[in-house]
Structure 1
Amino acid sequence: MNKIAITTIVAIVVLYVCSCTPALADYNFDGWPVETRLNGTVNGGVFIDYVPWDGSRDLSLTTTMPNGTVKWAYLYTGIWGGRESYKGWVNVTFNGVADQNGLGPIHLQGEDDTNQHVWCTSHGKYWMFYNVTGLVDAGTSNTARVRKINETYGAFDGRVYGIVLIAIYEDGDNPKNIQYWINDGNDAFHYAEATWPPVAHDTGTTYFNGTVDVATVTRANLTVVHLTAYDPSCSSGMTFNDHPLNTNMLDTNTFELNTWDVSSYVTASENLVWFTRCEDTYINVPLAILTLEKSPDLIATAIKPYHYEWSEEYNCSKGEPWFNLTNYVNVTVYNNGTGNAGPFAVMLYANETQIGAESVNGLSAGAATEVKFEWKPEGEDPLSWIDTTEGAICAYTDTSKEYVLRAVVDGGDEVSEENEENNELTKEQKVVWNGFTGDEPLENSLHGNVNGGIIYTTGDGQYRGVNCYGTKYGTYYDVNYDLALPGNVTVARLYLYYTWAQPSYTTPKIGIKLKDTFGTVHTLSMEQSYNDIKGDFDAHRFVWGTYVFNITNYINKSGTYTVNITNLNDGGDSDFATDYAFAAPAMLVVYENSTMPEREYWLTEGADILLGGRRSKGGFLELSECRNTARFLGDIEVSKVKEAKLGVVAPWAGVSWEPGMTTYMYFNDVELGRGVYSGYGRAYNISTDGITMMVGADDAQIGVNVTDVTAYLNASANEAIQGDDGDCMMPSSAILLLTQEEDILDTGLPESRYPSISGIHNGSITVDTNITVSSLYTYQCPGTGGHTEFIRIWNETTGACVKGHWDGYQGDYQTISLNRTITLKKGVTYHYTIQTGSYPQIHHQKELPVDGGIVTCEKFTDANGREYDTWIPAFILY
């Protein structure tokens, strides 16, 4: 079996037919000229398959048709009769069909033959044709069978010359744009003495009428069937438009189907093939098929790398590709050929590393399409620094990378093209760091527990621009902080938030002095800095940041503290900036007050400049790329948390420069609000549940917010996010403050409260978790005045000891206060002495398991002097 399949693709299919109705199939020694049965164009293919002579009288062709829609299909076969006078029966079937379209048994009658599907010539050369258009199954196997049944007159031979199936189909797996002609007949060439009177039939011509757009033809194939050619061999048995075609391969002298490339010989009209028998005495030509293929030519015409989108108006990117962010590359593919392209792939490489591969369903001739790729090149921050007591010394490293982007169109050669060597295009692209992203998470600075709270205040500080007092060398700026401290200070920090540090990649050299409430002046040393930069693009490549000073030793009581700020660089120190600006400096104080609830706090610090909202000056970043994170590490017993407050600080937050631009705040992926910062341009004060945040003056350019996040608290991995959607801010602090549920040890009510009597109880308490208590409540028997008159709790090892005395029958006389707060530590046993009056409720047992611990009776001596070891008073310690 041999196949010829010709396919291509176009956007619109045109199939037109010019049919030449063959003459009635009488016998003719000279045969019938080969004429056009069908011609037209198709978006699909011309399928040809055949099986040649094998000398048998039973021959089958099994072939698989391509996918597609069959528009026309013909089955051809030839029989050798032996002599024109011999007659016999043959059977022709297709896919088992023997009763349609002329298929089935047929009586071949030589010179007397009148079958309409048969051309009989010379000495019994039969060529038979059948329309099997409705019988062909596309995309699967098809079988044709031709066999001799018997002879009815003479020695009818019945051997089968061959079987040919031709199908025109649309679409399919790899369609092509083809113009075609199907010419058939049975031209019988012979020498003169074969007839009487002697007349030679030496040559013949078949015509492919119609016009051809030669400029669009990329390949032309001529397929011809010969019967009994050539003996002797002949190299010049055919011409196409007067161009000789080599026929040396025609040497079987039985059946031949061959194809010639005639691409160079096609003309705009009057295309034709000339045949000759050469020196052979008898040859037949029953089929000639011309197909003109119009091939696509796929080329990449543009590579467009960008971050947000590509501006076609200005032919440039909106945002260059940035390190560690999702960028995009559009590859423009153009079909420069004359034929439509079927499905193909486009691949993109960056420095020979494949970025991706995308599929294109097809592309019409003259059409273009854009293929979009995601690209996330990896890179590093160009800014690093070393902290000194006066500021940070920055170092700049050029971390940019040069990439060669290479687009490859149809690298797998899925499409047959005019030019297979023009499928690649390259473009150089530089990628840099964009520091306006959320690239500097706030760091955990402090974590602890305190009976107290947190104060954050900017005092009377205001924004100071470049060349203002405090930022210009030789000038000074004072900020006053009036602190009303509710307790003892455990932590105190001073923050200075700077911006516009110039020249590029430098930070301020700052002198700061603190005058305390006693009038003592202290020179401060910077403890740590956090710095960030916009990155290596556009102008104003200035560093922003936060300087942190530890002032715990200098904040010791309520009163006014004054901070004096000056620029220490006169221009002679190239390690530091000569110019800069800063927002209002801030103090943060953690204080202890034993009368307040126990609170757990986390303090995160940093500096992360953000500029989202697709603003051009920020590199067209979006909100999701401008989210600063602060993670609060550790586990939390959520059930014991009464309230959770989140406080945030972001200098320059709260005023959007363009309509619609704003800020976002999230906690554990829950959006807390938009545009929630206060304090940028106007003074602001909020105090709630242990956290106070004060912006004391107008134009501080500090944004703060406090939000209740109790409902969103997790047992671990809590996270706050400050997002910028065009505002332009620098998140610098996030504070999580948890107020614990009040500690309590409750014995609960006994099942039976009697008998009861006053007396002195001695026992012990062991708790499962730390609880802090300062009062005792006693459960009384109904209708009595049961109460506690004296209590003492102590531990000899730790030295802890508290006492409480009854104030008589006034107010809440069932409750007595301890002389101070005590924290009962987990796993530690404390002894107690409780002297009761009247009739308290009693648990009559030696040991009493309670929620959070166990209470044990050592001895109870009642008012009558009798002793017991199974009496425990019912009480609540809280």
Structure 2
Amino acid sequence: MSKSEEITGILILCVLLLVPIAGASYSFDGVPYMDKLDLVAHGTLKGGVYVGESQKLDFPPCTRTFNVPGDVKWARLYVGVWGGTERYEGWVHTTFNGHDFGKTYLRGENDDNPNVYCSGHGVYWVYYDVTDEALSGLNTAIANTSRGERGNKLDGRVYSIILAAVYENANAPYITYWVADGNVNLHGLGWAGALPTITNLASVTFKGVIDPANVVNADLTVLYLAGNSGEPDYLEFNGHGVGGNDVANCGDGETYGIDLKTFDVTGYTQAENSVVFIRGKDINGDGKIDVDDEGNQEGEHYLHPVLTALVAQHKTAEKTLPDFSVTLEFDTVIEGENTLTATVNNYGRLYEDDLVLKVFVDGSEIYSDDVGMDASGMNTLAVSWDATHGTHTIKAAIDAENAVPESNEKNNVFSTDVDVRSRIDLSVKILTPVPENAATNAKSSSILLGIGSILIIPLLMPRNGRSKKLPLLILAILSAALILSGCVDTQTGDSTGGDIVSYLVPVEIRNDGEAAAMDFPLSLYVDGERSVTKTITKLDGGKTIVEELPITVTKGEHLLRAVVDEKGVVKEFRRDNNEDEITYDF
């Protein structure tokens, strides 16, 4: 190595050591789930399932008509709206058979409407329960949006208006049906190739058992938004491909933005059935669904399956009686008031009446009420439970008094053991604030020292012809540089000549309860004004964490106050330890 190269290496190291380093209810993937559609209706009756109609992405207001060939037993109306981006907000206004549902405000990434499925870059799938408004024969729906309104940014074009209706017809054959909806955003890395997640599959399990030998015909209906012709996607029913290699192709180019298609799957029916929506396939085996070796697209960039229906027509009456079952769902149960979710299903013949649901804890009844059933085949109820600490056996029984004859009386009870944990107990303590740049520079110095050491080691290795004084010179420069780096801007984040300083305030948060605390805020106040708020995703019972909160203040004394779970959302054993305050001289 020449002397000039050695000097260059020294200069590089010095620069590295001295230069400061810069420190630093919508779901994009799918609603209500990112990997499946939600089963919303199922049952058995004499009749059919109507799903219609479909037209291309269009400007509002849009009018659609539907002709249902029977008495409506269950119905949902869907309106698809294109937002343009998840950041834009607006509204959709829908009427159906003269019934005005009013304006539903579409809030993009801030949306929390229970009947709005918004995912991706502002793809809305809005539903209305219209069982009471739907008619046998002609039905009319009108949808308008905020497109064109002064100040509106929402794109507001309407993909379509769709009616899904289960109807009864005495002259029709017996069918078993399933309807599922949602808004899954199947996507790769996006047009810019920069999305943090990839979603390639979505599925539906059609719960309930049928006899495939008694099926004379079975139709699978699927509905997509935002598909593109020429971008492959696939559909599998019970593992069998249906619809070719470009299912969502804008209705063969006729219905831009929406695909509504029905496939005959009679030959593929099983006792238990399922469907999988597939964004694409890795044709060239490079580990990603992008383009193949010839430059052809391997899958859709974005695709939104939003609705599916399976209808199996029977040769003879298969389910002559209803068949009820019940499940209980709950998150972590904490001593005190809790809400359990009871779901009652009817996997047999249509039943349109009430039956009794009872819930017991350790043999004692805590809930009893009538449950109304209809052609949706399901009903969900909230069950309150004032739980005590410890392990308990909880049991739910549907048709507990055996008042309704069923095809299967052995699946009416759900039972499980529940571990009831002590209440959450959050507390906070403000630790000693530290200059923000001190922490940054300490990390920077360590990193730079490591980099510098790697660079400098070859220069320090003795070689023939090298002056013995050179290593000493290098070490001297290295030491001086490290000293200087430790002195550069370590005391404050001063940006106005010494009046303003930036600090990190460490706040210790403890959870002395057994249950985990989820999604709660930590706020820091400076002289009575809120300075920063951070959401803590999870803090397990018996655990402690320290969060460093950045603040910028004038030099001198300031009153700091930290508050955890300020609005009291978390159910706690006590709340008198949820805040702490100190006075600190910055």
Give the TM-score of the pair, scaled to structure 2.
0.43
Give the TM-score of the pair, scaled to structure 1.
0.29
Structure 1 or 2, whichever has the larger Rg, is 1
**Relative contact order higher in (CA < 8 Å, ≥ 6 apart):** 2
- Structure ranking higher in strand proportion: 1
